[in-house]
Amino acid sequence: MDRIRKLAVTGATMAVLAACGGSGGSAPPTPPPPPPPVAPNWDLAVNSADAANALSPALIGYYDLSGVLYDYQNVPGLMTNMQDVGFSSTITGADWRIGAGRWEIATEILPTLTDGSPCLNATPESETAFATDTALIASRDWFTFTDGSPVLEASIVDARYQLDYVRSVIDDATAFGATPYVSIDHMPRALSINQTPNRLSCDATFTNSVSNNEPADPVVFSKAAAGLVSRVVEGTGAKTGTERPRPVRYWEVWNEPEIATFWEPTLTADPDSFFDMAIATLLELDGYRDTTADPNGQAIKIGLGSFISATTAVATIVNLDAVNIPFDFISFHAYNDDPLVIADAIQLTESAIQGSTNYQDIEMVLAEWGPDLATRAGDQQYASSMAPALHATTVLALGANTGLDRSHNAIIYDFFPAIALGLIDNGGTPRPLYRAYELMAKLVSDTTERIVVQGIADGRLDAGMGAVLVSRDTTTGVIRVLLVNRNQTSRTTRVSLDGTVVTPTQLFVFDASADPANPLTTVAMPQSVFELPPESIAVAEF
């Protein structure tokens, strides 16, 4: 019996050995190799030596003329919130584009037009306290009206300047930690070719054929404008208190002269009326900074003309290049739901700059921009979606890669409940657009430079449905990568830095699943290949 049991055990052992490929059996087939890893959708090669231009907070600035008018400093939480999206008390803050004169849309509405037609849509918030156009104009003018006599150069004296408003908006911007960028965009009645108001619009009371008209004498206007700048930056009187110097560097000549809302006659009707004024003013401001002994005056930057389109900016570069009119920046606006339309406008303008003889070193300013104003200004559903956030990050990522230096998104805060454009709604709650700017703010500082992604110089991924922008902090060496995925499907990403695949030390991803009212969060233990969900924005830090 024991012998039978031993034989059985031995037989079983031999069977196991044969199955395992032991002696006496044939080897099984070699198992197939594991499948190769799936290549990431976006495989980005970054060489830290491929530095391009500085990438400063000027890239993520804002356009909003309403701050001082609606007491933004006292809106709960607004000043603190803006510190996370570009304004700063410790480094150079992002631009806040403001006006030298006071003009508003849908505010300061009078009950009737000049011809007596009623203005029926004014809300209590938007009605004016002024009884007449002339009183309203007088409250806005930075150069005062007397008896209608022509203003001579000898008349340009301290007593004629009314600078309380422009000083107040500069102080408002500075208090928020912004860099004031001032547009000289308002024709004082005393200097206008027409001194009798004829208001044709209920919503835009500055469209009155006075404030938006050409000057009676372009040379006199230019000297008055230079006097405005010098008195702001150098101060007046005792140069203390409200008369103290305010070192504003960026001074822009006018706003949207292509349309009658801001300039009569329009460029189409008579381009000379605008360019005679603009050229005279640029020459006068250039002469002022060359001759003043004041450091604030010497440091000013001058430009024009917040054109309504990039094509006007391009034509201006071409035409003024032939006579070498001095200016430091060209500015234009762009509103379109498609961010690639705006990105293309930036590329068009940069091509004109680089193709010029005298202006290759000027800055390009997207001085006012956003989605289509005609359809989006009151679209609350759109404003609460990811669309504005994806729009803004795409424009700025692609724009920064193709020559954009400064930009002013419209707007900071929805100062009326019906508005749906701001980073922060009327109730003080951040929108997705706010978190997009918070992510972009991580890439810019006083010490950051742009790094060109190899083979993707313009930053476009998936034919523009994706975008990438890379910055390097020259002080710490930290590399940050902004990624935008506008696709309806996710995208995987991998970054090689100086030839080595790297894993993010910190990764932020923001999409529609996140509540914009809550702070941004980081991805726990990110991998070298990481995923961007559909319609998302990410910043990876290495």
CATH number at residue 256: 3.20.20.80
Share of the chain above pLDDT 90, in %: 85
Asked, for residue 112, whether it belongs to a domain, the answer is no
- Dist CA 89 CA 413 (whole Å): 20
Asked, for residue 264, whether it belongs to a domain, the answer is yes
Return the pLDDT at 77.
95
Domain count, the chain: 1
Asked, for residue 250, whether it belongs to a domain, the answer is yes
- Give mean pLDDT, residues 133-155: 95
Asked, for residue 87, whether it belongs to a domain, the answer is yes
Share of the chain above pLDDT 70, in %: 94
Q: CB-side exposure of 23: number of CA atoms within 13 Å? A: 0
- pLDDT(27) > 70: no
Mean pLDDT (the chain, rounded): 92
- Dist CA 300 CA 252 (whole Å): 11
Q: What is the CA radius of gyration of the chain?
A: 30
Return the pLDDT at 6.
35
Asked, for residue 492, whether it belongs to a domain, the answer is no
Report in angstroms the alpha-carbon separations of 124 from 105, 111, 128: 15, 11, 9
- Give mean pLDDT, residues 156-171: 97
What is the extent of the structural domain holding 442? 56-101+158-189+215-450
- pLDDT(180) > 80: yes
Task: Give 399's contacts (C-beta < 8 A, 6+ positions apart).
Answer: 59, 342, 343, 346, 366, 407
Which of 102, 92, 97 shows the shortest CA–CA distance to 63?
97
pLDDT in tens, 425-472: 999 999 999 999 999 999 999 999 999 999 999 999 999 999 999 999
Query: Between helices 310-321 and 339-354, what is the axis angle to 10°?
Result: 0
Asked, for residue 256, whether it belongs to a domain, the answer is yes
pLDDT in tens, 226-244: 999 999 999 999 999 999 9
Helix (H, G, I), strand (E, B), or coil: what is residue 379? Answer: coil
Asked, for residue 8, whether it belongs to a domain, the answer is no
Which of 76, 228, 71, 255 shows the shortest CA–CA distance to 164?
228
Helix (H, G, I), strand (E, B), or coil: what is residue 360? Answer: coil
Q: DSSP H helical segments within 198-270, as ranges?
A: 218-234
Return the pLDDT at 37.
63
pLDDT in tens, 78-98: 999 999 999 998 899 999 999
- Dist CA 472 CA 51 (whole Å): 8
Return the pLDDT at 3.
36
- Dist CA 167 CA 324 (whole Å): 32
Return the pLDDT at 166.
97
pLDDT in tens, 367-386: 999 999 999 999 999 999 99
Asked, for residue 519, whether it belongs to a domain, the answer is no
pLDDT in tens, 299-344: 999 999 999 999 999 999 999 999 999 999 999 999 999 999 999 9
- Lowest pLDDT segment from 66-75, 175-184, 319-328: 66-75
Return the pLDDT at 7.
32
